[in-house]
Amino acid sequence: MQPLDGVCVLDFSTLLPGPMCTLLLAEAGADVIKIERPGSGDDMRGYEPRIGSDSVNFALLNRGKKSITAHLKETNDLAAIKQLIAKADVIVEQFRPGVMARLGLGFEDVCKINPKIIYCSITGFGQHGPLSQIAAHDLNYQAEAGMLSLTSDDHGNPTIPPTLTADLAGGAYPAVMNILLALRQRDLDGQARHLDIAMADNLFTLMYWGLGNGLAAQQWPKQGGELVTGGSARYQIYRTSDGKYLATAPIEDKFWHTFLALIDLAELKDSAVMAPVRETIANKLKSQTLAHWLNIFEGHDVCVSEIKPLASAIDNPHFVARGVFNQTVSNSEGQTVTALPVPIDPAFRPSTSTRGTPALGEHNKEIVG
């Protein structure tokens, strides 16, 4: 048995935060029923690239779920949804605040149908507050939370992050954590819960160090001025002579001293001013190829890594040995693609290596009749 066997989740969400949340729940054994618009379904179904006729993005995020279609504004469909709600354990939705209530599916409405429901609302700015009704995406949440102010290019301009940090680390992951906590609390008191997951709020947790510096010592972090924003020679990206890059993070003295000794700059080990140290190390490292330096660092604890392209990173023997990419997902036509790795321990995940992604409305007859 899996940890969430017998837990029924109704998923009203689209795109990324909610579907990622319910993917993790499905991988741990929950029965996830995705409720989609007739005709078009989840917006992600239309995304490129495709595997066969299906969106790869949709397939990766919706493996192992079921799909039904329903017009939430039509009486008969709404009645069928309410019948499902009566038997469900969890609802996940990510509409703007108030939308589900206007449909008659708000938390108070649902509690009248199912007084033990765990109702998880994922939004950018939460269920209340001046920004709660503002349209926004991941980049906006990072901007409002101050995260983008800490990124910079060589000219000091904020840069666009490669990860959807708010959607995932601020939305999907906290949603899963709080759903599991709510289910455990319900075991103790039998009560329903409305979980208000605000992606922008949760970004502050990821900047704990900056908040600590600012709130405790009024040393608010600056672009390129702090340990993890490029201000230190000990936590830096350096270019090699062949145009490749090394990620160097010998923060602790034991690593730092070894690193400097290996590149013949041991005299810098006690230098306190970082700017000239960074420049000296940069000049040293760009005098030789990446292969040269990797050979020099081999077998030594110096916290130095080659910056690998994503395409080669997935073939790294370490990740291959750990089976990170040993699962597959099949589309509605039976074609397969490597499944998205998820942070669920293998012991809690399905024993089958391939699971399907549902066609739009594939399970209407089975679930609704």
Give the DSSP letter of residue 70: -
Q: Is the CB of residue 194 less than 8 Å from the CB of residue 168?
A: no
Cα–Cα distances in angstroms (integers) from residue 129 to residues 125, 134, 191, 198, in the given order:
8, 10, 26, 11
Pairing of strands 66-69, 54-55: unpaired
Q: Is the CB of residue 146 less than 8 Å from the CB of residue 220?
A: no
Pairing of strands 31-36, 8-11: parallel
Among 11, 31, 89, 167, the active-site one is 167
Cα–Cα distances in angstroms (integers) from residue 275 to residues 209, 219, 272, 360, in the given order:
22, 19, 9, 56
Task: Round to whole Å and give the CA distance between 3 and 344.
Answer: 11
Q: Is residue 43 annotated as part of the catalytic site, yes or no?
A: no
Task: Round to whole Å and give the CA distance between 305 and 291.
Answer: 11
How far is C-alpha 95 from the chain's CA centre? 19
* Beta bridge pairs of residue 142: none
For 330-368, give the DSSP string: E-TTS-EEEPPP-SS-GGGS-S-SEEE-PPTTTTHHHHT
For 10, the 3-state DSSP assignment is strand
276 φ/ψ angles, rounded to the nearest 5 degrees: -65, -30
Q: Is the CB of residue 21 less than 8 Å from the CB of residue 170?
A: no
Give the DSSP letter of residue 96: P
Which segments of 37-85 are extended strands (E)?
A: 50-51, 54-55, 66-69
Residue 154 neighbours by CB under 8 Å, 6+ apart: none
Q: Which residues are annotated as catalytic?
A: 167
